[in-house]
Amino acid sequence: MEFVKKHKKALIISSVILTIIVVIIILMFTLFSLKSVELSSKTETLNITAEQTEQIEQKTLSYGGSVLFINKDKIVSELEKEFPYLKIVNIETQIPDKFVIHCAEREELFSIESNGKYYVLDEELKILSISNSPDESLVSFEFEGIDYNEQTGQYFATKLNLNLSSAETGQFLTLGSSQSSYFADKMQTISTSVLTAFEQNNRDISYVKSQFEQFEIFYRPEQVSETNYIWRTCLRLVDRSGFEYQIVDADINLPEKISVLYSALTAAANEPSLLEGTYLMVYQNANGDFAYSFVER
């Protein structure tokens, strides 16, 4: 009793604080409990149906808990895996009990063939769908790799086997599984930046799909001494008329090189014979300037 009398004031203050904390906790898990989810799309959703929209909202609701503490990163990761065409920009918290999922729909751009299956990918190389036949409206993307011959001690170019037999929709394509990290990083950089490079030249995804039928990353050996070569990472583009373009060192300054490509086509419009029996090569010359040449086949 003596202790209680002595510390009465402190005990009262502690009880008040404890009560406030309990009330706050109760409010957090009642007043701030997630009760409503809205999907807000920034683009037209052709592949995300009304039924899927409802499923996305209901799945988000199922996480439950306080809107102040729910792990949004986990929600984003799991929703984007289950719904491949969904690209979540952010999840907005609207106090007291609502989430607004701001999203866009991933657009089909590339088609990659592996073991008789065709994988539809967006510009970030996310697998959106898998089918048994190609979609001619998409850009076919192929890859050449670099292999090493232990007997001769030399590198050589070879068609890259992506081996996607175990790949699923919702996954991102990683090009490093059968390549050294050096070459894999270059391929990944080019593949995931090519659309951005076109967009910086005012050519959007619709234009790219209508203009080109095939892209390919390949390697060009360049002799620098009697016994040594360096490998140039190149991007081959084939348009829907069958004309070929090659961009040398495509992992460096790609937007600028695509700009040069269109400058070359403008020049060729005044001299159509340049396009006969040639392909267009874009590169950076010894002076560091971007240049192009129409090369005879």
> Using one digit for the tens of pLDDT, what is the confidence trace for 75-127?
999 999 999 999 999 999 999 999 999 999 999 999 999 889 999 999 999 99
> Which amino acid is it at 219?
Y
Contact 148, 163 (CB under 8 A): no
Q: Is the pLDDT of residue 3 over 60?
A: no
For residue 167 the two structure tokens come to 């790949």
Contact 212, 200 (CB under 8 A): no
Three-state secondary structure call for residue 62: coil
Share of the chain above pLDDT 70, in %: 88
Residue 260, H or E segment: helix 254-269
Whole-number Å distance between alpha carbons of 252 and 270: 29
Report the range of poorest mean pLDDT among 15-24, 58-67, 104-113, 216-225. Answer: 15-24
Report the pLDDT averaged over residues 128-153.
Answer: 89
Outline which parts of the chain fall under CATH 3.10.20.310: 36-105
Residues 6 or more apart in contact with residue 31 via CB below 8 angstroms:
96, 97
Q: CA separation (Å) from 88 to 80, 144, 160, 172, 248?
A: 7, 32, 32, 15, 35
The beta strand positions in the chain, using DSSP E, are: 36-41, 86-94, 98-105, 110-114, 117-121, 127-131, 139-149, 154-159, 212-223, 229-239, 244-247, 278-284, 290-296
Q: Is the pLDDT of residue 213 over 80?
A: yes
CA angle 56, 57, 60 (to 5 degrees): 85
Q: Is the pLDDT of residue 11 over 60?
A: no
Mean pLDDT over each residue of the chain, to the nearest integer: 87
Whole-number Å distance between alpha carbons of 274 and 285: 20
Between the ranges 134-138, 146-150, 176-180, where is the mean pLDDT highest?
134-138
The CATH superfamily assigned to 36-105 is membrane protein fhac (3.10.20.310)
Per-residue pLDDT at 197: 97
Burial label for 67, CB within 10 Å (0-12, 13-18, 19+), is buried
Q: Is the pLDDT of residue 33 over 70?
A: yes
Per-residue pLDDT at 24: 59
Whole-number Å distance between alpha carbons of 120 and 135: 8
Whole-number Å distance between alpha carbons of 259 and 19: 67
Report the pLDDT averaged over residues 7-35.
Answer: 66
